Structures are given as C-alpha cells and as structure tokens.
Amino acid sequence: MSKLWGGRFTKQTNHLVEEYTASINFDKALAEEDIQGSLAHVTMLGKCGILPAEDVETIKEGLITVLHKIRAGEVEFSVSDEDIHMNIEKNLIETIGPVGGKLHTGRSRNDQVATDMHLYLREHVVGFVGMLHSLQEALIGQAKDNLDTIVPGYTHLQRAQPILFAHHLMAYVSMFQRDAERLMDSYKRINILPLGAGALAGTTFPIDRHFVAEQLGFDGVYENSLDAVSDRDFIVEFLAAASLIMTHLSRLSEELVLWSSTEFGFVELDDAFCTGSSIMPQKKNPDVPELVRGKTGRVYGNLIGLLTVLKSLPLAYNKDMQEDKEGMFDTVATLEGALQLFAPMIATMTVNKDRMRQAVNQDFSNATDIADFLVGEGLPFRQAHEVIGKTVLYCIQNSKYLLDLTIDEFRQFSPLFDDRIYDVLQPEAVVNARNVYGGTASGQVAEAIGRSEKVLEITEQWITNRG
C-alpha cells in the first residue's frame, strides 16, 4: 500500500473518499509549524535515547531540506497523502530514505496537528495585538489633533449632547484595548503544548514532553492526554475574540460611512482608501469600511461553525475536528486584512472641524444644560425638564435655536433665567461642564489620552517579549 498507514488495508482508498477526507488543500498553511514541531520532537527523541544521534541528525537535516523546498515552491502536495503531516513525512522519506519513518516515533497525528495549531495561533495572536496597538495609536493621534473639536454626540442616532470628537475616538481606543487584553489573556491557553499525548493515551516511549515545550517556547504541557488531543477551546476563544474585534471595527466602519456622507460631512477618508463608480464620476465610495462591516458576518459564522462541530463530540479525536482549520484560517486572513487597513485609514483621515461645529450650533443638544441651570436655581429637575421641553418646542415652531432666543423669550418659560444662560449654552461650556472622570471635558479627555498611552507602553512590552 502507498499509504503510510496502509498495512491494515487490502484495498486502495476510493479516490472520492481521498478528495472528501483530505485536508491538505488548506492545512498546508501549517507546513512551517509542522516542521518546527517535528524538529523539536526528533531532538527530544535523541536526548532521551529513543533514536540514535546519527538518525536524529539525518532527520533534522532532511526536515530543513524539505522546509527549504516548500518555501521555494518545489513541493507538490498530494491529496492522496491526506494532510500536511503525511505529505511532509512522505517528502522526508523520499529525501533521506527509510530513516525518515522514525520521525513519527512516540507521537500521533492527533497531538501533532494540535501542536501545529497552537504554534500557528500563538504567532498570529501576538501579531494581532500589535495591529490593534497600531490602530489605537492612530486613533490617539487623531484624538490629540481634535481636543478642541466639538461634535454632536448621539443616542438613537439622534443628536443628544455635544462632546469632543477626541472623546468619541477614545471610546474606540478603550474597545480595542479590551480586545487586545482578551487576546493577551488567550495567549496563556494557546501557549500550552499538546505534543506527547499520542493518539489519546500518551506513549510507551520514555519521552520528555517538558523538554519539547521548552524548545518550542511553550509555558507548559497539557495535563491530560485526552484533553490535549481533543481541546479546541483555544481556537474557539480566538474566534470569539476575533468576532468582538470585528464587531468594534464594524461599529467604527458604520460611523465612518455615515460621517463621510454628504449628509454628515464630518470626515473625509483619504483617496488611497476609497474607490469610485464606473458610471458616476463624482462618487467617492468608502469601500474599505463597508467591506469590513460586511466581512464581520463571516467571522461570526466561523465561530458558530466550530462551536457546532464541537458541541456533541465524544472524547478524544474525531474526524469532525478537521473542520476546525478552514474557519480559523479564514478568520485570521479576514481580521488581518481589516486591521492592516484600518490604522493607516484612520491616521490619514481628514476631520472637517467647521462642519462639526456647524452641526453643534444647529441643534438642541445643549438643552440638558438649561435644565441643569434651572436645577441650580432651585427648580426640581422634573419641572426643569418640562420647562426646557416647552422652550425647545417654541424654538422649533419659530425656526430658532436656543442661543437665538432673547432673555425675554427665555423668561416666558421661567423667571429663573438670566443672562448667564448664554454662557451656559456655549458648546465649549457644555462640553467642559462634564468634568468628571471619563467625561468629555477637555481636561478629562487629555488625561484619558495620557493613561491610554501608558497602557500602550505596557502592551508594546508584552509584544516585544513574545515577538
């Protein structure tokens, strides 16, 4: 039999079965990780006296040769060899002869593939923390440039209260910080070694799992061999974290689409991140945020897909678990594409401060501050609320805004009004009146930026230590 496992069988595998069950078309992405794990494994086999030193060196040299061939595009992966593990092993045997078959001593494809995915995700999680770091820096950069830019704040997509545009941007810095922290926390569970668990029960060979873990930079090993080969929690956790990142990117995308429309006109995205229309020459379309918004659904789907695969699987390994990879690879590619684009898109975004100020001057988002003024004069808030409601209604009926009213017009709704109300209603005064921790006052926002920059320094150190 041509199969490396073919001794038990009397017939060749049906070619349709080969095509249906093979994973090489997608798990070839794990080639580097597979060889990395194999090099550590065979080194351990030599250290423990399980393989003679000359065999170990021959296998290691062969693995390096195969790796170079793969990088050079000289290896043709075969569906008949099922997966990346069998393809590499077959190429190794073709390169160095039968001694290559000794590489699989003391391990199974079950613990091998789990190790590959731990190595793969470990590297990408660090990369994603770095990309989030870059996006946060871009947002903070825009926030610093807009500490004096006032924009309407919204609830229900209706103008609510004026806020600093910097304050709005810093909300996303906080969101992405939580995302980074989730990824950094997940790293603890990704950085555990399953190799040495065998197919499900361990191995009869006197291997040293902790030595392999040390070689590969893992913090520890799985305590239970069944759990080691059947655990995909670390992938689910990554997909969940990625889904939240995409949620936050999608929310920001929606705002960029709105803000860059003619109706809002708050920002303009750089030409490098927009496209045009094949029929309408005046169009400048925010395709990047639109597509990020759209691709969020596929990331959600990958999470739900894997959870569904795992929900009724008995221990230990089952072929169903082959479905853990395509969604993971797709999510990595989707998230990577989005984050790589978002940081420079935000950094090069032009903010239309005058248009934002015009919007603030032409709404009633300062109405709450009139109520607060009346409360300060002794009027109960509920009565003050009613007074302002009537005042706003009067303005609407007479095509005026609050700052357009004369003091006599104000006093027809309450005798407590005096000339101080005009200072209270100024957008800068409204913003800076929210001078509480986490509020939109300029001093509070400046302090928030400083705190975030210190947090980013800690994140940068984390990335450096694991890079």
Of 186, 277, 385, 399, catalytic = 277
Phi then psi for residue 438, to 5 deg, are 85, 0
Q: Which of 89, 117, 87, 119 is nearest to 103 (CA)?
A: 89
Tell me if residue 156 is catalytic: yes
Of 104, 156, 167, 414, catalytic = 156
Pull the structure tokens for residue 19. 């095509």
Residue pair 325/117 in contact (Cβ under 8 Å)? The answer is yes
| Torsion over CA: 175, 178, 182, 183 (sign) | positive
Alpha-carbon distance of 28 to 244, in angstroms, equals 28
Phi then psi for residue 312, to 5 deg, are -135, 25
Q: 171 to each of 140, 155, 357, how far by Cα in Å? A: 10, 14, 20
Q: 119: part of which helix (H) or strand (E)?
A: helix 109-145
Name, in order, each residue with C-beta under 8 angstroms of 281's C-beta and a sequence gap of 6 or more: none
Residue pair 35/120 in contact (Cβ under 8 Å)? The answer is no
Alpha-carbon distance of 167 to 295, in angstroms, equals 27
Pull the structure tokens for residue 37. 């794990």
Pull the structure tokens for residue 330. 């797709």
Pull the structure tokens for residue 326. 């395509």
Tell me if residue 230 is catalytic: no
Mapped onto helix, strand or coil, the DSSP state of residue 436 is coil
H helices of 146-205, in order, are 165-190
H helices of 267-323, in order, are 287-310
Place of tokens 């990047």: 288
Residue pair 76/25 in contact (Cβ under 8 Å)? The answer is no
N-term to C-term CA, the chain: 44
State the catalytic residues: 156, 277
